[in-house]
A and B are shown apart, each in its own frame.
Chain A
Amino acid sequence: MALEKELATYRRKLPELKSSEGRFVLIHGDDVADTYSSYDDAIKEGYGKFGLEPFLVKQIQSVEQVQFVTRFVAPHTLADAL
């Protein structure tokens, strides 16, 4: 699964990240780089710091908001393609 390590880091660090609810966290491997007020800033910093290596940008949410699509489509991950 893509970003497996980063997603595990996010879940592990979520209790301490909750004070930054709504901000965007940048995670590389096991490390939380920082949090940002906008998606754009977090992505820019991700490429600036880590180049083309994998990194995760995720909005910090105590309870993850589920996105909803009424059209008949199927959520896709790279793991699905393997």
Chain B
Amino acid sequence: MAYAEAVAEGIWAAGVARVGYIPSVTVAPVINALVASDGGANGVSPRVTPLSREEEAIGVMGAVAFTGRLGAVVMQDNGFGNALTALTTFTLSYHLPLLVFANTRGGLGEYNSMIHSISQPVPALLRAVGLPVVELDRRSGAEDWRDTVQEAGVQAVMTYRPVVVLGSFWNTDGKVA
């Protein structure tokens, strides 16, 4: 099982009803796996849809929780700057479960000279506002990634708040950037 497929499997296994994504080259294989497993093609399926910005993704997918189900967002970590107000004043404040999977940038394997300026402090930023963060990297296998993503979704539901999984694809079978 590829790491991207593992993330997709973990998202569905968590009981996610709907996924919104903001694309990056790193999460594209995750999105493709989600779409393929949901019977879609070309980035769209019945339960998987593109969204234009991280902030609105938190609004659209966070709202799923009002109907007693779980939404998920797949994105890249440099988008958390866009999403922070929505994550705090909407999902956190209204106690709405939400699963967020984001690939990391700015670390090992990075080519871009400035993206670390936002990506490096992301885990601390998220923890500073009270968001649970789980970090994955090359040190665990694809099965562990799948189980971790699944359990993060379960934890989001149990604790009525967003849970963020950050995945570094460096030295896995995935592409960093």
- Pairing of A with B: no
Binding site for A on B (CB under 8 A): none
